[in-house]
Amino acid sequence: MKILHLSAVKNWGGGENQIELLCEAFKNEAPEVENLILCVKNGLFHKRLKKNQLKFKTSPLRFNFDIRYSLKIIQICKTRRIDLIHIHDPKALALVVLADKFYNLPPMVFSKKTSFPIKNRKQTLYKYNYPKIKRILCVSHKTKEITAEKIKDKNRLRTIYHGISIEKQKQLSPDGNLRNKLGLTEDYILVGNIGNHIPAKDLSTFIETAKQIINRPNGQKFHFVQIGYFTSETAALLEQVKANNLEASISFLGFKENAANLISQLDMLLLTSNSEGVPNVIYEAFYHKTPVIATNVGGIPEIVSHMENGLLADATDPKKLSEHILFLAKETNISLRFTQNAHRKVVENFTTKQMAQKTLHEYKNILYGRS
More confident residue, 172 or 244: 244
Q: What is the mean pLDDT of residues 309-332?
A: 97
pLDDT tens-digit profile of 171-204? Answer: 887 777 899 999 999 999 999 999 999 999 999 9
pLDDT at residue 370, rounded to an integer: 64
Answer with the residue of higher pLDDT: 28 or 239: 239
State the average pLDDT for the chain: 95
Lowest-pLDDT range of 133-142, 214-223, 259-268, 354-363: 214-223
For the chain, the structural domain boundaries read: 2-163+351-367, 168-349
For residue range 80-116, list pLDDT tens digits in order.
999 999 999 999 999 999 999 999 999 999 999 999 9
- C-alpha to C-alpha distance for 192 and 168, rounded to whole angstroms: 21
Dist CA 61 CA 49 (whole Å): 17
Positions of E strands within 234-310:
250-254, 268-271, 292-295
Q: How far is the C-alpha of 16 from the C-alpha of 4, rounded, in Å? A: 14
Q: What is the pTM of this model?
A: 0.92
Q: Do domains 2-163+351-367 and 168-349 have the same CATH topology?
A: yes
CATH 3.40.50.2000 fits 168-349, yes or no: yes
What CA–CA distance (Å, rounded) separates 118 from 111? 13
The topology under which CATH files domain 2-163+351-367 is Rossmann fold (3.40.50)
pLDDT at 105: 98
Number of residues that this document lists for the chain: 371
Residue 371: pLDDT band (50, 70, 90) is low
The contacts of residue 311 (CB under 8 Å, 6+ apart) are: 291, 292, 293, 294, 304, 324, 327, 328, 338
Closest to 57 in 3D by CA, of 90, 84, 31, 35: 35
Q: What residues are paired with 4 via a beta bridge? A: 36, 85
* Selection from 154, 368, 80, 127 nearest residue 360 by Cα: 368
- Residue 207 banded pLDDT, cuts 50, 70, 90: very high
**Which residues have C-beta within 8 Å of that of residue 46, sequence separation ≥ 6?**
39, 40, 56, 58
Q: Which of 313, 310, 330 is nearest to 321 (CA)?
A: 313
